[in-house]
Amino acid sequence: MFQPAPFVPLVKDPHLLTILGNFWPRKLDFSAYPERAQLYRTEPDVQVLVQSQRPEKPIAELVMVHGLEGSGEAGYMRTLAHTALRNNIATHRFNLRTCGGTAKLCPTLYHAGLTSDLHFFLEQLHSPLPVYLTGFSLGGNVALKLAGELGTGAGGILAGVCAVSTPIDLAASVRRIAERDNRLYERRFVDRMAERLVSTGRYTREQMAPLKSIYEIDDRITAPSFGFGTADHYYATQSSNLFLDRIRIPALLIQAEDDSFIPFESFHHPAFAANPYLRLISTKYGGHLGFLSKSGPRFWVDQNVTNWILSLVKPA
């Protein structure tokens, strides 16, 4: 059985870990793994970008999904890809709709529960190798929700799913990020969301100006765009905690108890005790996607996710 390495944080302040995790220099040599960037038409008028790389003799495939306003170029996506490739795992960095420079290739936006594009890509892989899925933050919600939606049918396209720093209760996380200690983060997210929405050509800066929170953007734009009506209804129907009990493939969740974006109480969900396919690894420290280790490999999550995959591919 997979046993994670102990996490000894570089620092213990959750905000500093969150910031360092985002800005820490990453010196990665991908020269042995040429990248293939390919657009996939998931619907007649929707194209999404996937950045794929392969080792010489892969033993498994890993599909990764980024977080809110991220892309395949996010540092956490690249470092996990690098670690996986060095362990003979082919990687695919999946960009959500309108992300990764595809803003004008889709008439609709992405949202935290939109699984259809990802499902389409997974079905296109047609790989003889086992395929694993890892989502970060909002991407973790998408990954877990898809695994739950597929239920017993997930085994046909997926061998396992992993979620890191995931807002499994969207409403609780949006409320938490709106609190005073997260003000700078929310401002950054709102600015980036507004910039992307304007870049689609369907919204103006004047329309974005009054929207000062993630909730306001979701309530005025995201939810109505997909027929949810309100942000509250969107959160109530698209949170992955509604689908955890239906997951029937190995599922690993990695969560820091001090994540200032995500109340750890969300992970007291009864599915973790009732569903044997779920495994929660919690750490006292880590912030949000800030698992920088003081000892051993600096990027603790990357080595542990990779080792988890290897333990399933090559059971002891």
Give the rounded distance of the alpha carbon of 99 from its chain centre: 13
pLDDT at 239 over 70: yes
CATH number at residue 247: 3.40.50.1820
The set of residues, in sequence order, having a beta carbon less than 8 Å from that of 123 and lying 6+ positions away, is 157
pLDDT at 256 over 70: yes
pLDDT at 316 over 70: no
Domain that holds residue 174: 14-313
- Domain-located, residue 204: yes
pLDDT at 52 over 90: yes
- The residue whose two tokens read 């939810």 is 223
This prediction's pTM = 0.96
- Domain-located, residue 4: no
pLDDT of residue 136: 98
Spatial separation of the C-alpha atoms in residues 72 and 100, rounded to whole Å: 7
- Domain-located, residue 6: no
Q: What is the pLDDT of residues 95-108, one digit of tens each?
A: 999 999 998 898 88
Q: What is the arithmetic mean of pLDDT over 50-76? A: 97
Whole-angstrom CA distances from 40 to 50, 61, 92, 285 are: 7, 18, 12, 38
- Overall domain count for the chain: 1
Give the rounded distance of the alpha carbon of 300 from its chain centre: 16
Count the Cβ atoms, other than its own, within 10 Å of residue 293. Answer: 19
Lowest mean pLDDT among 41-55, 229-243, 302-316: 302-316
Give the rounded distance of the alpha carbon of 173 from its chain centre: 15
Spatial separation of the C-alpha atoms in residues 241 and 55, rounded to whole Å: 35
Please give the backbone phi and psi of residue 247, each rounded to the nearest 5 degrees, phi first. -70, 130
pLDDT at 12 over 90: yes
pLDDT at 202 over 90: no
Q: What is the arithmetic mean of pLDDT over 140-163? A: 97
Give the rounded distance of the alpha carbon of 84 from its chain centre: 16
Size (the chain), residues: 316
